[in-house]
Structure 1
Amino acid sequence: MATLKNSWLRASIALMVLLFGVFMVVKAMGGNEKNSTESNPKNIPSVIMVNWEFTPNVSSDPLEPENYIESSTSHCSGTKEVCGIKAPADANGYPVITPGSGLATRIQNKDKTGGDVFLKGT
């Protein structure tokens, strides 16, 4: 009788160890798929930031994308007026300025702390 109880105890422990091992293998396999996707930079779309010079063509509104041309902003220095921005291009060849975005807010406030708004004038 003692041998029978001992056998069941050993079988139960062996079954728990086996199930734990299977669980760990499944978890490790699932983790590898996630890591291979995250570490593959080919799956991450890259956004190319472009310098845009403010040239009031349509209106004097610096939030209007049509008022910008792709150009260097190296001549922009000052604190008074919007001179240029750094933003990705849309499909029409204009900068992406989404209303209410951080960039739009910085343009409105003439805030160059984000490094994407350039001002001119003193």
Structure 2
Amino acid sequence: MTRTLLGTLIGLTLATIVASRFEGTLRVGVLCGYLLSTSIALLGIGWQKRALRDFPEKVLLVMVVSFLVKLFAVLAGALLLRYVDSLASIADWRGFLVAYAFGATFTLLLGVLDNARALRGESAL
């Protein structure tokens, strides 16, 4: 999982660079979207890795539940940022959605590669 964490930090650097080019609520929305998606994706990847090691018959269930948690988080975050005025004044919902999509996809790709490497018995680095 070391490569996943390193890739996630590189992604955070990219998200911070992109967010620094914006102002106000859009900047906060981009950072919130990336951080939320990455944290949920990392939890899901860790859960999947544990299931691969201890309960291989439940891996598909873990993947589906992990996806549903990500889906609920993006839906709840977007709706809250869009329709709750106090939150909308802090973070932009469109920046949140774009950064969430990037963060979830990027982290998931890195995690799948790490889990595949673990299945083959290769080391983390």
Give the TM-score band, short-chain normalised.
Answer: under 0.3
The structure with the greater share of residues assigned to helix is: 2
The structure with the greater share of residues assigned to strand is: 1
TM-score normalised to structure 2 length = 0.26
Higher-RCO chain (CA-CA 8 Å, sequence separation at least 6): 2
TM-score normalised to structure 1 length = 0.26
